[in-house]
Amino acid sequence: MGKFISFLKSLFVTWFSSDYSVLADVPADNKKGIDWAAAAPFILFHLMCFGIIWVGWSPFAVIFAAAFYVVRMFGITAFYHRYFAHRAFKSNRFFTFLFAFLGCSAMQKGPLWWAAIHRHHHIYADTKDDIHSPKIHGFLWSHIGWILAHENKRTRVEYIKDWQKFPEIVFIDKFALAIPFVVAVGVFLLGHVLFYYAPWLHTNGMQLLVWGVFVSTVVCSHATFSINSIDHMFGSRRYEMPNTSRNNVLMAILTLGEGWHNNHHHYAITARAGFYWWEIDITYYVLVILSWIGIVKDLRPLPKNIRDSGQYVKTAPPA
């Protein structure tokens, strides 16, 4: 019985607690490759998408799923990426925590884990040390394999020392994987309430759970992962630089602006990824609106001389 309880405890920690071990590049157990036990919740989310066969659909469930996709994608693109990874704007601690929670609900691990991986990517892009380069590791690994690997479970604390002084962010990063399940319970209860009190919406708890959480999360995940894979393989290159980053308009639309990846690698610390007015960057538009009402401030601009220069601008992560 004691061994079984120990096993359950170990499984719980594997699923819901991030690894803050000191060593950054060597897994504590020296294992490499996909950690299937830790990957179980992510695989479960994919399998649960087939639930649409049994729960059916309703206009409300599909609209809710799409809206939740956009909201959580913004949590990833604006805060996980442009804020936590690149410090491209400022926000107070309350909204920082709020948007960190929102980003966690997208099931892409914690904001500090995410930011550390991304800063590492900018330093080593498309070299042998880049953990998700399709040039080095192939499409499948760059798209999804790397995020499930033993060697990438650890939050690489040496890359996010600037965030270590915020205990609430460290806390939410450590337990980020529990948040999607908390959100799932909330969405299920919302659907259950709507079933009784708004029957004209033709939805229920299970239907809203499948569409609003499982389908929405899986699509959001793969759209985000496509920046690592597709946007280093297909698209145009405005700036020549020592990596394979590309601009891809379809990816830019699906990821609210992140598809302008060649732009981003050219000058990573600006709050905008679309460098010209015709390059749709919904994340930036929303950040501008949020700056008007004081939720964010000091959006880092894109200097015209840098935009118009073909020279590669290597921007180091914050110390």
Q: What angle do CA 134, 139, 143 make, to 5 degrees?
A: 95
Closest C-alpha among 218, 191, 176 to residue 58: 191
- Is residue 28 one of the residues assigned to a domain? no
- pLDDT of 274 over the 80 cut: yes
* Mean pLDDT to the nearest integer, 124-129: 94
- Is residue 182 one of the residues assigned to a domain? yes
- Is residue 317 one of the residues assigned to a domain? no
Sign of CA dihedral 90, 93, 97, 98: negative
Q: If 0-12 CB within 10 Å is exposed, 13-18 middle and 19+ buried, where does residue 232 land?
A: buried
- Is residue 221 one of the residues assigned to a domain? yes
- Is residue 279 one of the residues assigned to a domain? yes
- Is residue 313 one of the residues assigned to a domain? no
SS3 (DSSP) at 50: helix
Sign of CA dihedral 61, 63, 69, 74: negative
Give me the DSSP letters along 254-278. HTTTTTBHHHHHHSTTSS-S--STT
pLDDT digits (tens, 9 = 90+) for 190-210: 999 999 999 999 999 999 999
- Is residue 26 one of the residues assigned to a domain? no
- Which helix (H) or strand (E) segment holds residue 290: the answer is helix 282-292
Report how many domains make up the chain.
1
- What's the pTM value of the predicted model, to 2 decimals? 0.91
Domain extent for 283? 2-21+36-307
- pLDDT of 18 over the 80 cut: no
- pLDDT of 281 over the 80 cut: yes
- Is residue 76 one of the residues assigned to a domain? yes
pLDDT digits (tens, 9 = 90+) for 221-258: 999 999 999 999 999 999 998 999 999 999 999 999 99
- What's the full length of the chain, in residues? 319
- pLDDT of 29 over the 70 cut: no
pLDDT digits (tens, 9 = 90+) for 51-90: 999 999 999 999 999 999 999 999 999 999 999 999 999 9
At residue 23 the predicted structure's pLDDT band, cuts being 50, 70 and 90, is very low
Closest C-alpha among 265, 271, 273, 257 to residue 313: 265
Number of C-beta neighbours around residue 156 at 10 A: 18
- pLDDT of 3 over the 90 cut: no
